Amino acid sequence: MKNKTFEVIIIGGSYSGLAAGMSMGRALKQVLIIDSGDPCNKQTPYSHNFLTHDGRKPSEILMIGKQQVQLYDTITVINGMAIGGIKTKNGFEISVASGETYQAGKLIFATGIRDTMADIDGFSACWGISVLHCPYCHGYEVRDEKTGILASLTNDT
């Protein structure tokens, strides 16, 4: 990539990162979106309670979002993992795992959430499939089934 300086760098290229990128691209800002390609909903078979996308696979929604964002010629999307950043005189410098560095005046973190998996055999493999984390996203599909709730009373991070 020739250009290494942007007006805005967005770290995270899933739904929120792409939405931020589209807004910036429509404002004719030079934008770089850095996406590791590891969305937190990768195991979830279908997304629900997402208007116009109810019942779609998260990967399909992401693909549509990327296609739409890439129509704006001021937006660049790269596959990579942001591994470091420093505040500079003119903004920020972000390093990615490949060794490349990029500069921008503004920085948006759209990295989403990280789910904490319980230390229970099989729990992680069932996450988003039969171990459901959101009653608004998945409750309708299991409305007539027996439900258990796992909760933690600690504030460990």
Domain boundaries, the chain: 5-109, 117-157
Starting from the edge strand earliest in sequence, which strands make up the sheet with 101-109, in order?
75-79, 31-35, 5-11, 101-109, 91-96, 82-88
Report the phi/psi class of residue 49: left, alpha or beta, with left for phi > 0 and alpha for psi in -120 to 50.
left
Architecture of the structural domain at 5-109: 3-Layer(bba) Sandwich (3.50)
Q: pTM surpassing 0.85? A: no
Q: Which residues of the chain have pLDDT under 70?
A: 1, 155-157
Q: Which two tokens stand for residue 122?
A: 């099989």
**What pLDDT score does 45 carry?**
86
Distance, in Å, from the CA atom of 138 to the CA atom of 126, rounded to the nearest integer, reads 14
pLDDT at 157: 57
